[in-house]
Amino acid sequence: MGKLEDMKPVMAMTVLQFTYAGITLFTRAAILQGMSPRVFVVYRHAIATLFISPVAFLLRRKSRGVPMGLKSFTLIFLASLIGVAINQNLYAEGLYLASASMASAMANLVPAVTFVMASALGLEHVNIRSLRSMAKIGGTVLCVGGAVTMALLRGPKLLNNSRETLTLMVSKFAYGGSGGGDNSWILGCLFLFGSCCCWSIWLILQVPMTESYPDYVSLSAWMCFLSTIQAAALTLFLESDLSMWIPNTKFQLACIIYSGVIGSGISFFVQAWCISRRGPVFSAMFSPLCTVIVTILAAIFLHEKVYTGSMAGAVGVVAGLYIVLWGKAEDIRPVSGEVKLPNAVKTAVYQNDLEKLACKIDLEEPLLSSNPSSDVKEES
């Protein structure tokens, strides 16, 4: 019985990676069928808002949570705009222009990017005489180098090299042939890197935001709601064709509901439970599994081409991720039998967008603070 209990977090995290892989693939499939990436982002967060708001309302009535001040609202507004609305729009565009496997692999850059930003802001202290600090720096360099290799060095094709891919055919139909070229590939990688930067900024904003407004479920609902409005305003400004707002197929509608409810709702509870049991580093270790699953399934079902250069770069990103995590492992240690985590980690639980992303959250959070004094019962 004890062994089964110990395996539950492992099984839950494994299932969760398949869930995140499904979100990435379904999002790309819906976009390739002609749905606007920007419209998809609006609908996804609207569904997430409808899902989590009743939960937040009921819990707030029970707990009589803290009131929200101007400072809290400003921080939440900025976090929603940068970390959700802009982040997800960049991610969706990059997902279309590049590939699902590229988007999933690029997500592993977030810990390295967050480490660089946090170090520049003084939230992460680097000691060049420390082996673990050097590991963080070396892992960051390896991550970035791997990402550059993925974007620029495609190399010979490993899979799906004998026929025109479904991705290219659908993109020609839906977007007049704009997808699939080398320029689109590089542009898509830039969009995905921009998404990682926005996500890292969002993580850093968690430090002041959670201190100002520690009602985490309510905070999640507010971010989903505000990001829906912000993304809608951006989409109305960029999308002149209002017909793009109407899902063309039941499959597109199902993708929206799946991404909103599963990606931003149910997965949150699973992620929070796993981190509360085993800590954020344990959760982070499973992140590359999502990349492997997406790459395999995208090659099978979306007939995406797999290149040797991209695979080599992905290996570099994953290796760099584990090196950074090893360097960060010293910052999170068991104390009196409980895992001590920084305050910033708490919040990530409640904004699991990003397809991507939710497992990414856990990796990144610990990179933001070296203060081991905050107890976390719930995690992101």
Q: How far apart are CA 12 and CA 348, in angstroms?
A: 18
pLDDT tens, residue by residue, 77-118: 999 999 889 999 999 999 999 888 889 888 888 888 888 888
> What does the pLDDT read at residue 144?
84
> What does the pLDDT read at residue 194?
95
Question: Once rounded to an integer, what is the mean pLDDT over residues 236-263?
Answer: 87
Q: Which residues constitute the domain of residue 106? A: 2-368
Q: Is residue 380 in some structural domain?
A: no
Q: Is residue 101 in some structural domain?
A: yes
Q: Is residue 50 in some structural domain?
A: yes
Question: Once rounded to an integer, what is the mean pLDDT over residues 273-278?
Answer: 70
Total number of domains constituting the chain: 1
> Who has greater pLDDT, 179 or 253?
253
pLDDT tens, residue by residue, 158-173: 765 544 444 433 333 3
> What does the pLDDT read at residue 307?
79
Q: Is residue 374 in some structural domain?
A: no
**pTM score, two decimals?**
0.75
Q: Is residue 134 in some structural domain?
A: yes
Tokens standing for 109? 């850059």
> Who has greater pLDDT, 180 or 116?
116
Among 17-21, 260-264, 282-286, which stretch is predicted with the lowest mean pLDDT? 282-286
Tokens standing for 31? 């976009």
**DSSP 3-state of 356:** coil
Q: Is residue 313 in some structural domain?
A: yes
Q: Is residue 245 in some structural domain?
A: yes
Q: How confident is the model at residue 180 (pLDDT cuts 50, 70, 90)?
A: very low
Q: φ, ψ for residue 335 (rounded to 5)?
A: -125, 120
Tokens standing for 114? 């967050």
Yes or no: say if 230 and 62 are a contact pair by the CB < 8 Å rule: no
Look at residue 193 and tell me whether its pLDDT is greater than 80.
Answer: yes
Residue of 3, 14, 25 lying closest to 96 (CA atoms)? 25
